[in-house]
Amino acid sequence: LFKFLNNYIKYGTFHQGELGLLNFRSFYFFEQLFSSYRGFIYTSPVLYICLAGMILLLIKIPCAIKRKDRKSILEKGFLFSIVLYLLIKIFFLSFRYAWGGGTPGARLLLTEYPVFVLLFSLVLHAVWRKKILLYPLLILSVFFIFWNILIISEFMLKVDIDYIKEFPPLHERIHTAMPVIFKLFQPRHFLHKILILFPLFFACIWSLFKILGIGVPRPSVCAENISEADAKVLTITKWLTIYFFISYFAVTAINLKNNRLNVIELKEKGFFESAEIVGPNHFEVIENSDSLDEMIEYFKIKGEEERVKHIKNIKKKIYDRNIISQIPPGGLK
C-alpha cells in the first residue's frame, strides 16, 4: 500500500513501472539465472549454496515425516512453502524483458533475502561439526561475495558488456573491484545518517541487552515447544517489524505532505506553464527502451540473430515509435 502511494506521488497515477517489462511472448528462465549478462546466479554465485539448501530441504522433509517429528515437519514445511513462493516468483520474472537492464544481479529478489539466508543456514548447519567441509564452505562463500563485488564494479564501470564475448583473466579484472569497495567504506553524510538511523541503533542495542539478559526481564516462553532463545528472537523480530512499519508510514506521510507543498511552490514559480502532462508509458520508456537496447546488444554479441530480431519487434509493439520520437535528447526533465 505504501509503495503504491509513493508511486502515485511520483507518477500522478496508480502505476507500477516494473510491470511494463512483463510479457508472455518470450521466456528467459535459464538466461535470467545463469547468463553472463547479469544472470542472478552468475552475479551472485553464493546462491549455488542456497540451491544446495533447497536440495537438502527436500531430503529433510521426508525424513522428518518418517520420524513423525511434528516440530521439524512444521519448520521444514513452512520453509518449503516460502521457497515454493520464491520459485514461482522467479518463474514469472522470466517473462520479463531486459532482466539485467540497468541493474546487476537479483535486485527483484531483495525482499526474499531472508529465504536465501534460511537456505544457506541449512547447509551451514549440516556441515557445522564437520571441519573438513565447514572451512571450504566458508572460504567458498567469501570468494563468492568478492565475485559479486567484482561484477557490480564492472557494471558501474560499464565494461561488463564488453566481457560477454571474451573474458580477460581474473587477475587482470581484480583492480576493477575498487569502485564498490571504496563506496562501501565511504562515510558520506555521516552525521545525517546517524541522526536518521538513531532509533534503529537504539533498537539494536536494546535487542542486544535483551539477548544477553542485561538489565531487562527475560521473555516468557509462550509455548512448550518454543525455547527461550526462540522466544527472544520472536520478541526482537516483533519490535523491529513494528519499527520498520512505523518508519515507512512516517516517510510516506511526509512525502504526501511535501508533495502538495512542492506542487504549490512550483505552480507559483510558473513551472507548470512549460510542463507537459504525459501518460504512464512516458515514465518508463527511457529506462526500459534503453534496457531493451542493451538486451539486443547482448544477444547480438552472442550471435543469436533470431532473438535480436524478435526483441526489436517486441520493442516496437510495447513502445510506440511516436512515443519514443517525442522524447527529447537527454530524456524527460
For residue 97, pLDDT over 90 is answered with: no
Alpha-helical regions (H) of 94-226: 113-127, 131-156, 170-173, 178-184, 190-212
Q: pLDDT, tens digit, for every residue of 228-252?
A: 777 777 888 888 888 888 889 999 9
CA nearest 5: which of 248, 283, 245?
248
What is the spatial distance between Cα 279 and Cα 161, in angstroms, rounded to a whole number? 32
Q: How far apart are CA 185 and CA 208, in angstroms?
A: 25
What is the 8-class DSSP label of residue 47? H
Residues 6+ apart with CB under 8 A from 256: 5, 9
Which one, of 191, 233, 227, lies nearest residue 210 by Cα? 233
Residues in the chain: 333
How does residue 216 score in pLDDT terms, banded at 50, 70 and 90?
very low
Grid coordinates representing 242 are 513494528
- pLDDT for 211 equals 64
Q: How far apart are CA 332 and CA 245, in angstroms?
A: 33
Can you list the pairs that 63-67 forms with residues at least 24 positions away whose Cβ atoms lie under 8 Å?
none
Long-range contacts of 173-176 (CB under 8 A, 24+ apart): 174/150, 176/150
Mean pLDDT on 82-87: 94
| pLDDT single digits (tens) 259-312 | 889 888 988 988 888 777 776 667 677 767 788 888 888 889 888 899 899 888
Residue in 66, 167, 154, 143 with CA at minimum distance from that of residue 105: 154
What percent of the chain is predicted at pLDDT more than 70? Answer: 85
CB count in 10 Å sphere of residue 332? 12
| Angstrom distance (rounded) from CA 47 to CA 45 | 5
* pLDDT > 90 fraction of the chain, expressed in percent and rounded: 24
The cell numbers describing 207, all together, are 535487542
In tens, the pLDDT along 182-208 reads: 777 777 777 777 777 777 777 777 767
Distance CA 144, CA 135 (A): 14
